[in-house]
Each structure stands twice: as structure tokens, then as C-alpha cells.
Structure 1
């Protein structure tokens, strides 16, 4: 089963997530500037609806300042849509849930590219060498946690859960 819920990533595991062969929505947030309820609903739905076609990965910007700086995220919350190692869209707090939905759908299944979001950040490269990950827990949406490790990461991300 492919991961069908939002996962959490950090500096140690982000390259592995980005190089999993799927588009990724990197969601930058903080306790002081959380994702809105409308965005949260869109992100959870996208993770479920596009399981095996899109990864939705949250990044706590306060705890992961290096990632926040690496992607030059000017405001929180923000969603960076990454395809083939490139940021193709940067959606910020003023973006609507409809705009977020359109970009996540486009990243997962293609079709007509949505209009560029307002205040889009400059395109960034996500290249880099993956680092070893410690066990990362992620729910699969069925109430059972999945532990991602180097040994099972590719198998789980590609939808062949051991």
C-alpha cells in the first residue's frame, strides 16, 4: 500500500523523500504560523487521493531552519510543489485552497498547468545526496503506523508495503 497520509520530514530525510521518484508537496509551517484548516483538509485529501502519485511532506520550519533557508521560503505557511528535483510552484498563506488543490492535482496526475501562484518563490534545485534516515513513523491512513527505514523506504513509497 502506498503512503496515503501526510508524512513529516527533516534535514536528515528530505533528500530521500525528494528522490523517491514522486512529485512532492513540501509543506513549511511553524507552531506560530500553522497551516490553515482549509489547507490541512486539502493536504490530507491529496495525500489520500494521490497515494503512490504524490507525497505530501511537512517540515517544521522552526525545528528545521536549514531547510527553511535552503528553499528560501519567505513566509509561513508555504507549500513548495517539487517535480523532478525542481520547485515548480510556491504557494504561500495568501493562496486559496482551490489554488493549492489545482497545483497538487497537476503534480500528481498532470493535465493543464494551473496559473502561477501569487508571490511564487524563485525556483530552487533539490539535488543532493540522500542521507541515512533513522526510523521515521508515518501513518498510512488505515490507523496503522509505518516505520520508514533505509531498508524499506523505496518499497513503501512505491506502494509495496512489506
Structure 2
């Protein structure tokens, strides 16, 4: 009887932990896999090899900042010129911050896998990439297990 009670209590704790984890990631706007990776996987490369980030992220935004893992909030604030009210970017994740009219409109945490932005001036970027909405179209190169996104000028 006691073992049955302990087992039931353990199951309840596991369920509670699962619910808390789901709520935590939903509050952070966590995407796994990312909306962008899903869109890249859906492209028919025989007829199209481009993607427009304005269509993938279809809300209003002027600029998208992509921050790599371990970037501190102070550095993020300095780069975007706003208070992001965010934490350090976690290991193996990236932080997408969308700005419209000098206001943050959305923050998304995504897994840093499956694609790379090949923007010449940011080839060795350590902290961030900035993409303007007017330059949101990219040529997609399907490179085996990884997509390379090159800006279309």
C-alpha cells in the first residue's frame, strides 16, 4: 500500500514537472524546431530556392536581431539600443528579437541548428546578426544536413 502511494506521488510529481516545463517554454516563446527551419524543410527546391523572412514571421517588424548563445543582456541592450528585459542567451540556443518602430514586438528563443545565415559582413559574428525587413529575402542552399541562407541583393 505504501509503495503504491509513493509510486502515485512520483507520477504526480512527474506530471507537474512536465506542466511547469511546458509553461516555462511557452512563456519564453520557445520554438523547437524553429518556424524558419520548418519553412526551409517545406520548400520545393526543384522550383524555388528562396525564402522571405517577412513571410515566415508574418507580423510587422523593421529589424530582426539574431543573438548567439552566451550573449549577455547588457550587450544585447547596447546592440539594439533598447532594454530587452532578457537573460543571457542559453547554450545551443539563439535569441531572435524583432523590432518595429523602435519597439520590441517579439522575442523568440530557437534551437541553433539546421541553418546558417551567410551574410558577408557577419561571417565571423560572435554576438549578433541584424536583418532589415527590406532585405528579408534569402537564397537557400540545401547543403546536406544544413541550410545556408545567402541574402538576395
Task: Report TM bin, short chain.
Answer: under 0.3
Q: Which has the larger strand fraction?
A: 2
Structure whose alpha-carbon radius of gyration is higher: 2
Q: Which structure's relative contact order is higher, taking Cα pairs within 8 Å and 6+ residues apart?
A: 1
Relative to the length of structure 1, the TM-score reads: 0.23
